[in-house]
Amino acid sequence: MIDKIWKNGHIVSYDQAKVGINTHALHYGSSVFEGIRAYNTVNGVGILKLKEHMKRFIYSMESLGMVCNYSLEELCQAVIKTVKASGLESCYIRPLAYYAEGPVSVLPKEGHPVDITIYCLEMGKYMAADKVDIKVSKYIRIHPKSTVCDAKIGGHYVNSILASRETIDTHYHEALLLDMDGNVAEGAAMNIFFIKNNELITTPLGTILDGITRRLIISIGRDLGINVTERYFKVEELIEADEAFFCGTAVEVTPIASIDDKKLKASNYKITNQIKATYEKVKKGEFYKDALTYI
Ligand code: PMP
The confidence score (pLDDT) of residue 129 equals 86
- 1-5, 84-88, 98-102, 110-114: the lowest-pLDDT one: 1-5
- Does the beta carbon of 93 lie inside 6 Å of ligand 1? no
**Sequence-distant (≥ 6) Cβ neighbours of residue 144 within 8 angstroms:** 206, 207
Mean pLDDT, residues 277-287 taken together:
98
What mean pLDDT is predicted for residues 93-121?
96
Residue 97 confidence (pLDDT): 98
Nearest CA, atom 3, ligand 1: 189
What's the CA-to-centroid distance between 104 and ligand 1, angstroms?
31
At the topology level, CATH places domain 4-121 in D-amino Acid Aminotransferase; Chain A, domain 1 (3.30.470)
Q: Does the beta carbon of 45 lie inside 6 Å of ligand 1?
A: no
- Domain residue ranges in the chain: 4-121, 132-284
Q: Is 110 exposed, middle or buried (0-12, 13-18, 19+ CB in 10 A)?
A: exposed
**Atom from ligand 1 closest to the CA of residue 209:** 1
pLDDT at position 278, please? 98
CATH number of 132-284: 3.20.10.10
Please enumerate in sequence order all residues whose Cβ is within 8 A of that of 270, keeping only pairs 6 or more positions apart, or say none. 243
Active site residues: 152
Lowest mean pLDDT: which of 110-114, 224-228, 246-250, 266-270?
266-270
Residue 205: pLDDT band with limits 50, 70, 90: very high
Residue 125 has pLDDT above 90, yes or no: no
* Nearest ligand 1 atom to alpha carbon 156: 3
Q: How confident is the model at residue 268 (pLDDT cuts 50, 70, 90)?
A: confident
Q: Is residue 266 predicted with pLDDT exceeding 80?
A: no
* CB distance 179 to ligand 1 below 6 Å: no
Please give the mean pLDDT across all residues of the chain: 96
> pLDDT-based confidence at 208, cuts 50/70/90?
very high
Q: Is the CB of 217 under 6 A from ligand 1?
A: no
pLDDT band at residue 1 using 50, 70 and 90 as cut-offs? confident
Which residue's CA lies nearest to atom 12 of ligand 1? 211
Closest CA to ligand 1's atom 2: 189
C-alpha 248 – ligand 1 centre gap (Å): 5
Q: Look at residue 44 and tell me whether its pLDDT is greater than 90.
A: yes
Cα separations in angstroms, 276 against 46, 201, 213, 271, 292: 18, 16, 11, 8, 17
**Any ligand 1 atom below 6 A from CB of 35:** yes
* C-alpha span between 100 and 251 (Å, rounded): 30
Pocket of ligand 1 contains residue 248 by CB under 6 Å? yes
The atom of ligand 1 lying closest to the CA of 214 is: 14
Asked if the model's pLDDT at residue 193 lies above 90, the reply is yes
Atom of ligand 1 nearest to the CA of 208: 1
